[in-house]
Amino acid sequence: MTDAKGDLPPKNLQTVELDELDRRIVRILSREGRITNADLAAALDIAPSTAHARTRSLVERGVIRGFHASVDHQRLGRGLQAMIGVTLRGGTRHDSIVTFIDEVKQLPQVLQLFFLGGPDDFMVHIAVADSSEVRQFVVENLSTEPFVASTRTSIIFEYHRRGVAAAFR
């Protein structure tokens, strides 16, 4: 008797099959995370209790990992966004990098941080007031670090998002 409980490895990272209804719910909640369950049900032409059970199941199965307000940084006086590619010096101790990354990702200007395998070691997506603050951010937080070899800054003219990806665990 191979019972599910006990046979499974630490449990995580398993992929999940979604049917068409699940996919439609995910799509709607990606766009309108605060839609009422009643409206969601109406949009899908199902009973509110069904919509509710499905949505809960998506959260329980880890497909939906959270809900977030999206913020207009331009309205907050941070009308300039930039993407900064960073290359690290070879031979830097791994935990120095981890500490550094942890600090960078706490900075209020930072929106996203990508750790890469490629020409750049990571990229930082920031929102600031103007180009002088971009420069200031790079100088104060990146290029002065001993293990940062180089940075490459690009201004962001347009930004489009097709959903919100969960951060990696």
Partner DNA sequence: ACTGAAAGAAGCTAACT
Partner DNA sequence: AGTTAGCTTCTTTCAGT
Beta bridge partners, 83, equal 125, 154
Please, are residues 147 and 89 in contact by the beta-carbon 8 Å criterion?
yes
Out of 24, 52, 61, 135, name the contact with DNA by CB under 7 A. 52
Backbone φ and ψ of 47, nearest 5°: -75, 145
DSSP 85: E
Residue 167 burial (CB count, 10 A): 10
The answer to the question of residue 20 lying near a copy of itself (CB under 8 A) is no
The answer to whether the Cα torsion of 168, 91, 121, 126 is positive or negative is positive
Q: Min. distance of Cβ 61 from a copy of itself in angstroms? A: 7
C-alpha pair distances (Å), 66 with each of 22, 29, 119, 163, 166: 16, 10, 32, 12, 8
- String of contacts with a copy of itself for each residue 125-144, x by CB under 8 A: x-x-----------------
Out of 18, 24, 48, 143, name the contact with DNA by CB under 7 A. 48
Of 63 and 129, nearer to DNA (C-beta) is 63
Q: Which does 21 bind (CB under 5 to 8 A by kind): a copy of itself, DNA, none?
A: DNA
Residues near a copy of itself, by CB under 8 A = 13-16, 18, 26, 29-34, 61-77, 79, 81, 83, 101, 105-106, 110-120, 123, 125, 127, 152-168
